[in-house]
Chain A
Amino acid sequence: MTKLRIADKILKQVEKPARYIGQEVNSVIKDKNKVDIRFAFCFPDVYEVGMSHLGMQILYYFLNKREDTYCERVFAPWTDMEEKMRENHIHLFALESQDEIKNFDFIGFTLQYEMSYTNIINLLDLAGVSPWSKDRKEDDPIVCAGGPCAYNPEPLADFIDFFYIGEGEASLNQVLDIYKEHKKQGGTKEAFLEKLLDIEGIYVPRFYEVKYKDNGLIESFTPIHKKAKAKIKKQLVKDLDDSYYPSKVILPWIQTVHDRVNLELFRGCIRGCRFCHAGFVYRPVREKSKEILIEQGKKLLKNTGYEEISLSSLSTSDYSAFKEFSEELLETCQKAGVNISLPSLRIDKFSIDLMNKIQTVRKSSLTFAPEAGSQRLRNVINKRITEEDILKGSQFAFEGGWDRIKLYFMIGLPTEKEEDILEIKELAYKILDTFYSIPKEKRARNIKIVVSSSCFVPKPFTPFQWEPQCRYEEFMDRQNLLKKSIKRKEIQYNYHDATISSLEGLLSRGDRRVGQVIYYAWKYGAKFDSWTEKFNMAAWKKAFELTNIDPAFYANRKRAYDEILPWDHISIGVSKAFLIKEHQKALDEKTTPNCREKCAGCGAKIFERGVCHEIQN
């Protein structure tokens, strides 16, 4: 057995020591003397959060399929363990071999949410290397990053040697092939990064120069290496049926958020909700065939021993063969004694019937995400669900015996007015009335409606990328208004402090200068920013003062269409012209049909596959 990096005596003093020991069922152990490339795959959050993440499990096996590569997992040690590690001068290590990642070839970060950025700095520091790309030495690992937040790589540009833009399965192998060859021949890190300039989808920040105007706007963003591409094109898997999907997943030692088999039905989303980052960057929709899905599901269940399977995609019921697929899956699972859990369904009669069929457990709560209270505002954000749909869906649910409904909304959407907010209350009241309009013998006795609101953060590559975000006070005033208006006792309203969303507003549309803020916030003690109990606003405030960076410039400023945006050199396939058109339509309160109804000409057709071509065939 592998010798643990951390002494027993320390492990006995920390919370959940199983986070640090590796060797789980289905983890990969290789002979480190027989590989050419050591890759540390870092999820910049704690073990049980990272282990729930499907993308990491896919890429873990994808990279380990290569005989020449040993990909190992690294998570952020919880603060109790970090303290012990620093006290005892223990460097950050990978779970599988328990070796220090300082000696690896690559340290790769997956960027799932902006609030993990300070953890990235912290992990590099714990690993014993400089967080700054320019200060790392020749024999330090190459630090790379990918994932959804990499579509705006600029806030991390000074820390990361290269970004991979798009889905890893598409061309990560090419990167490793070049590296292996490079390592064999010998050469500097800089020379390797130059070689990467030949590959589409790779962004090496050091080969670009940003100039700013006096007013703080970007004056120019230019390649300073002759091979550096002016536009970095997103890489994606064209055919998901042919693409690699693991037949097993690691069984985490401790309970995680998603402790079950995950089936990915498709990538992308046909809906085009205008606030949704994922809905644009993962375009076009690409589906897996029903047969492949059933086969993958069977294999995964067999190899993991899980008794629950979940369907994970952005809007599950948009899968084109959903009815046939769900029937077949239901049959397979009933035979095997496996439960199905269904997230993100559109609530209609079919879904309710389906849920009635699969519910073996007590009826849990049902979730709707109208996102906005008024039809006007739902048109603005292109959430094409009507009040009638919601009330009908609720009625089906109540008649089916459900007695708890959750409603999700966003506060601070563009053009939002007081009336829009009060309509959230109206909608909840109408759902309540729907419940009471059903004869007592046909519904549950009591009802509970939980209304939750989150604070809207404008994201890059969405039609709202030019919009100002609400200020902290505006968010709080609007939420208080709603809070005061809701009087019926069956309705519970949950809202959030807007501090973290405001900071997310800065980071998600930040430019290169924002890297300084992240660094100093970390220096002053910020880490685990997405954990309310660890969040340290004082550290961020000090960082703003020191770097002289005004968060409002990034979060609360309206941008002009002709402004150079920090992420303009990245191409997701969807054109800027389309995003402008969508933004205009939003202001005109006009909706856009989904991809299956009518192609809106967003530009994602260039990828040659997926929903864009399915219509024409």
Chain B
Amino acid sequence: MKFIGHLDLLRLMQRCIKKAELPVAYSKGFNPHQLIYIALPLSLGATSEGEYMDIELTEDSLMTETEIKDKLNAVFPAGLKVEKVSRVKDKAKSGMAAVDGAEYKVFISKEKMPVYFNEKTEAFFEQKEIWIEKTGKKETKKINIKDKIYRYCVQEDKDFWIIHLLLAAGSKDNLKLETLIEALYQYIALDYNGYDIDIHRVDIYSEVDNQLIPLSNL
């Protein structure tokens, strides 16, 4: 599934929901489409065990959560699985609106890395401010991304360095994982190509009373 882009995944979901005969609601207007929303797009090439999707059902629908889960799993292709379905009454608590953070594991092969990788990475994250250049349409801005990194930790494995990260995500504040990794590589003076690392999303979080909790626990 990791090679299916966000829009293609959305199209696939539409097919699967229709195939599973879920009582999905449609938009009004000239070109009705299913009211489904993926909480936070995942980059092409990344894997995940913590994705969320909102499906708006028709008002009179009586289908149970288990039924919905089983019906979708019966039509999904290999590599795609529904873990849990829960009814959300309040739209404000829907997946897309609730996203505040995302947790990742980044796997970096040790093979090509200098011995000081660990040390330098620690130093990178320990900086008081982390400035990156953001190229917009008109001008290039410098922004400090330090306060968008909520948590980090570097772990050593047999073949990989694994960087655990919890980053700002969603409509209020957002840090693209790739941007951060690129800044890290630049700091260590390494070339970043985007295909030598593996990205895995662990979960997506929402902020409740100053605490980040997984969307599934809302």
Contacts and interface: CB of A to CB of B under 8 A. Distances in A.
Interface of A: 1, 8-9, 11-13, 17-18, 21, 23-25, 251, 253-255, 259, 302-307, 337, 360-362
B136 interface: no
Given A9-B196, A18-B3, A18-B4, A360 B31 contact: yes
B44 A17 contact: yes
Given A305-B75, A307-B18, A361-B31, 11 more contacts: A11-B45, A12-B44, A12-B45, A12-B194, A25-B12, A25-B19, A25-B75, A25-B76, A253-B12, A305-B15, A306-B15
B79 interface: yes
B61 to A, nearest CB: 15
A403 to B, nearest CB: 15
B14 A307 contact: yes
A11 B2 CA distance: 10
Contacts of B7: 255
Contacts of A361: 30-31
B8 interface: yes
Nearest to A259: B11
Contact of B195 (A12, A305, A307): A12
B16 to A, nearest CB: 6
B15 A337 contact: no
30 contacts: A8-B45, A9-B195, A12-B44, A12-B45, A13-B195, A17-B3, A17-B44, A17-B45, A18-B4, A18-B5, A21-B3, A25-B16, A25-B19, A25-B75, A251-B12, A253-B3, A253-B4, A253-B8, A254-B8, A255-B8, A304-B15, A304-B19, A305-B18, A305-B20, A306-B15, A307-B18, A360-B30, A360-B32, A361-B30, A362-B30
Nearest to A26: B77
Nearest to B19: A305
Interface of B: 2-5, 7-8, 11-12, 14-20, 26, 30-32, 44-45, 75-79, 194-196, 198
Nearest to A248: B19
B79 A11 contact: no
A304 B3 CA distance: 21
Nearest to B194: A12
Q: Considering residues A1, A17, A25, A306, which has the most beta carbons from chain B within 10 angstroms of its beta carbon?
A: A25
A472 to B, nearest CB: 40
Q: Considering residues B14, B18, B31, which has the most beta carbons from chain A within 10 angstroms of its beta carbon?
A: B18
B79 A1 contact: yes
A18 to B, nearest CB: 5
A303 B75 CA distance: 9
A139 to B, nearest CB: 32
A414 to B, nearest CB: 44
Contacts of B16: 25, 305
B18 A8 contact: no
A251 B18 CA distance: 13
A361 B195 CA distance: 41
Contacts of B19: 25, 302-305
Contacts of A8: 2, 45, 198
Nearest to A13: B195
B154 to A, nearest CB: 22
A546 to B, nearest CB: 40
3 nearest CB pairs, A to B: A305-B19, A305-B18, A305-B15
Nearest to B45: A12
B130 to A, nearest CB: 25
Contacts of A255: 7-8, 11
Contacts of A17: 3, 44-45
Contact of B26 (A1, A18, A337): A337
B195 to A, nearest CB: 4
B78 A23 contact: yes
A251 to B, nearest CB: 6
Q: Considering residues B3, B26, B195, which has the most beta carbons from chain A within 10 angstroms of its beta carbon?
A: B3
Nearest to A251: B15
A451 to B, nearest CB: 28
A362 B15 CA distance: 23
A13 B30 CA distance: 39
A257 to B, nearest CB: 14
Nearest to A338: B18
A307 B15 CA distance: 8
A157 to B, nearest CB: 39
B17 A305 contact: yes
Contacts of B75: 25, 305
B101 to A, nearest CB: 25
A23 B8 contact: no
Nearest to B109: A9
Nearest to A1: B78
Contacts of A302: 19
Contacts of A360: 30-32
A255 B14 CA distance: 13
Nearest to B8: A254
A48 to B, nearest CB: 11
A23 B4 CA distance: 12
Nearest to B78: A1
Contacts of A306: 15, 18
B168 to A, nearest CB: 25
Contacts of A259: 11
Nearest to B26: A337
A18 B75 CA distance: 19
B29 to A, nearest CB: 9
Q: Considering residues A18, A24, A255, A305, which has the most beta carbons from chain B within 10 angstroms of its beta carbon?
A: A305
A23 B77 contact: yes
Nearest to A17: B3
A304 B77 CA distance: 12
